[in-house]
Homo-oligomer: A and B are copies of this chain.
Amino acid sequence: MAHIVLITGGARSGKSRLAEQRVLEAGPVAHYIATAQAFDSEMTARIATHRERRGPEWRTHEAPLDLLETLRATDDAPRLVDCLTLWLSNLMLAELDWESRAREMIAALPDLHHPVVFVSNELGMGIVPDNPLARAFRDAAGTLNQWIAADADEVILSVSGLPLKVK
């Protein structure tokens, strides 16, 4: 049964770096499962920065939508999923049923063997957004974090690049 870790935190809080360290502690080679899609130059640059930082021990996979399939296909080493919040955004933009996809993935986690470290964004600690879509996304992201956290073996809040143990 796979060991599941959730690392959540704000933007530029060092979540990805903490997650990379955590995954490499679990094994000499690892899979990096990127949910990001490079729509614009800002995102392309961000993806490139992350990729440069990671070393040759990483194999990169792209899973903007089919996260569960990718988790099953990479169950021979520890995995980093970076990040859940972008996956949610992709599902919502594609008008797919994120709730049933997320529940299906969570239900399948106990069947996996190798560790999974999920990175996730904390979006709910600012002023309530005026935009109803932003509110709906914020609410969905918070709900997804709760679902994963409930089933995770460890939950960590990243603060200024440092881990704060929540579970």
In the complex, are the beta carbons of A11 and B124 less than 8 A apart? yes
Contacts of A9 in B (CB 8 A): 124-125
* Chain B proximity of A101: nearest CB distance (Å): 18
A8 within 8 Å of B (CB atoms): yes
In the complex, are the beta carbons of A123 and B132 less than 8 A apart? no
In the complex, are the beta carbons of B159 and A12 less than 8 A apart? no
Closest Cβ neighbor of A141 among chain B residues: B12
> CA A126 – CA B85 in complex, angstroms?
13
Closest Cβ neighbor of A46 among chain B residues: B139
Choose the segment among A27-35, A68-76, A92-100, A145-153 that binds chain B (4+ C-beta atoms closer than 8 Å): A145-153
> CA A155 – CA B14 in complex, angstroms?
14
> CA A47 – CA B132 in complex, angstroms?
17
> CA A10 – CA B123 in complex, angstroms?
8
> CA A145 – CA B14 in complex, angstroms?
10
Contact of A160 (CB < 8 Å), options: B13, B135, B146, B160: B146
A142 within 8 Å of B (CB atoms): yes
In the complex, are the beta carbons of B13 and A124 less than 8 A apart? yes
Closest Cβ neighbor of A161 among chain B residues: B146
For chain A, residues 121 to 137, give those with C-beta under 8 angstroms from any C-beta of chain B.
Answer: 122-129, 132, 134-135, 137
* 5 more CB-based (< 8 A) A-B contacts, given A122-B125, A125-B126: A11-B142, A12-B124, A124-B125, A127-B138, A157-B159
